[in-house]
Amino acid sequence: MDFVETADNPIPAGAELMPVTTGDGRVLRAVRWPAAAGAAEVKGTVLILQGRAEFLEKYFETVGDLLARGFAVVTFDWRGQGGSERELANPAKGHVDDFSLYRLDLEAVLDQAVSPAWPQPLFGLAHSMGGAVLLQALSQGFDRFARVVTIAPMVDIALIAMPRLARALAQGLDVVGLGTAYVPGGGARSIQRKPFAGNRVSGDAVRYARNAAAARPDIAVGDPTISWLNAAFRCMATLTEPRFGAAITTPILVIGAGEDRIVSTLAVERFATRLKSGHAIVIPASLHEVLMEREPIRDAFFAAFDAFIPGSTVAPATAAAKAAG
């Protein structure tokens, strides 16, 4: 268990890499950073929940942004991706039988990497699939977060042209025993290693290349399996129920990407209207991965984040250094 470090993507200082074992015996790769030395005030802990096929190295820059704001930070790789244990013998397949297994990952990380010693309050920063997992948990009474920011939560997949047909096909193929096969047309090549031109995730060529360089074969995964897709459809079906969100009391900021071609931004906005204590902001011109986007888009995100998360501000010296650099 190690990191992938490149010259333009250094590991933020203070990282503590650690294994986390889930209730069903899977070993996850997790890492935590204490609040930056010399921070005038520790604002709490931010837990980053990544999206499908991601890995914690993609978030080094974001970790640095959060440390500069006075937070401790914890993140991890979901089972089946990154440096965590795979569900299948073929490590390139993005597979899970049900999203409830990701809930086991989340609970294990909170129990072993966050609680009880790390600074409170605890805030969630969840992207795409990570947002879907966390939102479903919140609706089931999971109340360990003071506030949650979710970016392009996976409530509806925009790149599927005929979702009803796709859902029926995924369910049928799963039932007849083909769940561990790639989705039709899928393969082992990681989305992180595909050409920048025409990509669906980021308009920033430099950050895209940085993430591609970190996508070592043993941490990057390819396309999802039929079982993963079937499980995703089941999860999204609960998120889009008219009464979903009625039981969630945790304040939630939902960030939509204005040019998202993976998750439906319209569905994200509709979803947010059903939350008791939530609202949505759409960042124009952003593709799916807001935190991997161009500087003005990331600045817009952090302006919203700072306004929503109590006490979140960049120390003046840190802000000045970033502007100068």
Single pTM value for the model? 0.95
Average of per-residue pLDDT values in the chain: 94
Which distant-in-sequence residues (6+ apart) come within 8 Å of 171 by Cβ? 230, 233
| Distance separating alpha carbons of residues 62 and 47, to the nearest angstrom | 12
pLDDT digits (tens, 9 = 90+) for 74-125: 999 999 999 999 999 999 999 999 999 999 999 999 999 997 789 999 999 9
Q: Would 56 be classed as within a structural domain?
A: yes
DSSP single-letter state for residue 56: G
Q: Is the per-residue pLDDT at 38 higher than 80?
A: no
Confidence band (pLDDT; 50, 70, 90) for 273?
A: very high
The pair of structure tokens assigned to 116 is: 């009880």
Which distant-in-sequence residues (6+ apart) come within 8 Å of 34 by Cβ? 14, 16, 72
Res 100: pLDDT: 98
For residue 145, the one-letter residue type is F
Distances (CA, A) of 225 to 53, 55, 171, 194, 288: 12, 18, 12, 19, 21
CB atoms under 10 Å from CB of 248, counted, come to 22
Q: Would 147 be classed as within a structural domain?
A: yes
Q: Would 82 be classed as within a structural domain?
A: yes
pLDDT digits (tens, 9 = 90+) for 206-241: 999 999 999 998 999 999 999 999 999 999 999 999
Distances (CA, A) of 67 to 231, 312, 314: 34, 10, 9
Res 319: pLDDT: 52
Beta bridge partners of 148: 124, 252
Number of domains observed in the structure of the chain: 1
Q: Give, for 131, the enclosing helix (H) or strand (E).
A: helix 129-139
Provide the 3-class DSSP secondary structure of residue 318: helix
Provide the 3-class DSSP secondary structure of residue 320: helix
Query: Domain holding 144: CATH number?
Result: 3.40.50.1820
Domain of residue 48, residue span: 16-324
Give backbone dihedrals phi and psi of 78, rounded to 5 degrees, phi first: -60, 155
Q: Would 5 be classed as within a structural domain?
A: no
Q: Is the per-residue pLDDT at 317 higher than 70?
A: no
Confidence band (pLDDT; 50, 70, 90) for 139?
A: very high
Q: Would 8 be classed as within a structural domain?
A: no
For residue 68, the one-letter residue type is A
Q: Would 4 be classed as within a structural domain?
A: no
Q: Would 99 be classed as within a structural domain?
A: yes
pLDDT digits (tens, 9 = 90+) for 283-313: 999 999 999 999 999 999 999 999 999 987 8
Res 318: pLDDT: 53
CB atoms under 10 Å from CB of 206, counted, come to 11
Q: Would 318 be classed as within a structural domain?
A: yes
